[in-house]
Structure 1
Amino acid sequence: MTAAMDLIRCSFGANGIARIHLNRPDASNALDPELASALESAVDAIAAEPDARVLVLSGDGKNFCAGGDVKRMAAAPDTPAFLADLAGTVHRALVKLDSLPITVVAAVRGSAAGAGLGLVLAADFVVAGPSSKFAAAYSAVGLSPDCGVSTLLPRVVGLRRAMQMLLAAHVVSGAEALDWGLISDLVDDDDVESRANELAEVLAQSAFPAGGQTRRLVRASFGRSYAEHLEDEARTIAAVASSDSARSRLQAINYRAESG
């Protein structure tokens, strides 16, 4: 499957690697209603690919995603209604992204602010360059967080650091983001995409569907009780055990044990 869109480039390769590339570089990939809708459609398209194993998120131009389109917000006849609609569309995309049983890798150059930070937090691995900057950015325009930032950011960097970003408008550099655990890899700016692709290739070769289900379980664990989570773990491990990957790996271990 390969689809070309004005605002999103979405593709799926035979190697199990799917890609969503934000394509609004003149606006730093800021999310307006059109881009938000295209993002939701792209996530739907990836979710419909049964062989997808890894998703790579990236942005065209100098910045990954500068957040919501502030100019469109200010110019809207009814700003609250505009924001409710925009946030609702992006949130639907993020809920669908969060539920995907595949690993998500973000490749970040330049700014990841506001909703862009939300996309970073939705990823399982984040590759960034020295030019990268991570900011909540909401307080600068007098708004409260959206796109999951107020719940995911404290989980990733801790409460105190989250408050620095959310309330004191602290902008986190690439090096600081690595130290805080906000990103997983820091490479030269020119190597961000290649490193993300290299990581995606490795992840695509890992046990499937076990890897994606592990990702789903971890991300789902925060929103329910321990007992509910254990029930899901039991159902999932039983279902995964019927996969070709699990059967072949278990049989290989058993063969080595008998041979030894």
Structure 2
Amino acid sequence: MSAPHVLAEVKDGIGWMTLNRPESLNALSMEMRDLLIEHSAKFEKDPAVRCVVIRGAGTHFMAGGDIRGFHKSLTEDKESHLAGFEMRVVKAHQAIYQIRRMNKPVLASVQGAAAGFGLSLILNCDLAIASDDSFFTLAYRHIGLSADGGATYFLPRVVGERKALEIALLGERFSAQEAKDNNILNWVVPKDQLAAETEKMARKLADGPTYALGVAKKLIRNSFDNSWDEHSHREAEGLAACAATEDHFEGLSAFLEKRKAKFKGR
């Protein structure tokens, strides 16, 4: 029996999702899509999970869609392939939706190639760290497709409209440093330090006041869709909800007692 296309485990408050098709550069399969939906839903509802990390097995993050599978399906049963294509994209977007709305921080840890849907997945995580030898491309134009996974919505919000058009229309490869310069990545680290630095950042997030972090995440995510008048009310509601938590009192107490706060996420 082959290994599942996504491995999931929870360890010390951190939920790890590992894309697990290293022999195919972790290209997105229907099984991988379904497992991303399944595990992200479980992590979202599990109070023991206070931070989520998405990473790739082997030497690459994700090389995008399964091109061999696309070609095989078009060759063997074009009519059926095209009839179900839109719904397969919609289902993949369910995984993106769940990751994006999760009320806890989500960190992408990237090595090697991040192409197509892989880049979309990174854009939808809250934070991203990558090795200095990683590389990126939206890539869809090379196989005659537009993008999915939220890339055409979130990329211009991250890098600006003009840069997003360049990335999408040319499909050129760009480096980790260029990805950081354009706010796709938060941190670039030496390849041999990626695992340790990912663990360190995940630990910092998981040990934080995760209820408050979830509220802040939701407010920032929704800010582009609301007027200031509407958003100001949501901000006041969010702060009031956080003020009623145990973590708020713990944070105040720790500050006054000059010690490190021990947050519980509630």
- C-alpha separation between the residues in 2 aligned to 1:252 and 1:37? 42
**Given that residues 6 and 23 in structure 1 are in contact (C-alpha distance below 8 angstroms), is that contact kept between their aligned partners in structure 2?**
yes
| Residue in structure 1 matched with residue 4 of structure 2 by the alignment | 6
**Given that residues 13 and 51 in structure 2 are in contact (C-alpha distance below 8 angstroms), is that contact kept between their aligned partners in structure 1?**
yes
Matched residues, number: 251
How do 1:231-242 residues align onto structure 2 when only pairs under 5 Å count?
231-242=233-244
| Aligned Cα root-mean-square deviation (Å) | 1.8
- 2:108 alignment partner AA: A
Deviations 1:170-211 (A, max 9, x none): 211112112222111111222212211111111222223111
TM-score normalised by the chain length of structure 1: 0.90
- 1:101 alignment partner AA: N
How do 1:1-260 residues align onto structure 2 when only pairs under 5 Å count?
6-13=4-11, 15-76=12-73, 77=77, 78-251=80-253
* Gap change, CA 1:130 and 1:249, over 3 Å in 2: closer
Deviations 1:211-250 (A, max 9, x none): 1221121112223333332232222211111111102223
**Given that residues 8 and 39 in structure 1 are in contact (C-alpha distance below 8 angstroms), is that contact kept between their aligned partners in structure 2?**
yes
TM-score normalised by the chain length of structure 2: 0.88
- C-alpha separation between the residues in 2 aligned to 1:255 and 1:184? 32
- C-alpha separation between the residues in 1 aligned to 2:140 and 2:81? 15
Of 150-159 and 216-225, more deviation after overlay is shown by 216-225
> Aligned residues: percent identity?
32
- 2:188 alignment partner AA: L
- C-alpha separation between the residues in 2 aligned to 1:85 and 1:73? 15
- Listed as ranges, the gaps of 5+ residues in structure 1 are none
- 1:122 alignment partner AA: N
Deviation at 1:52, TM superposition (A): 2.1
* Gap change, CA 1:83 and 1:253, over 3 Å in 2: same
- C-alpha separation between the residues in 2 aligned to 1:62 and 1:252? 42
* Gap change, CA 1:227 and 1:140, over 3 Å in 2: same
The DSSP-based 3-state class of the residue aligned with 1:127 is strand
4+ runs deviating over 6 angstroms: none
Deviation at 1:32, TM superposition (A): 1.6
**Given that residues 53 and 212 in structure 1 are in contact (C-alpha distance below 8 angstroms), is that contact kept between their aligned partners in structure 2?**
no
**Given that residues 16 and 52 in structure 2 are in contact (C-alpha distance below 8 angstroms), is that contact kept between their aligned partners in structure 1?**
yes
**Given that residues 32 and 86 in structure 1 are in contact (C-alpha distance below 8 angstroms), is that contact kept between their aligned partners in structure 2?**
no
The DSSP-based 3-state class of the residue aligned with 1:105 is strand
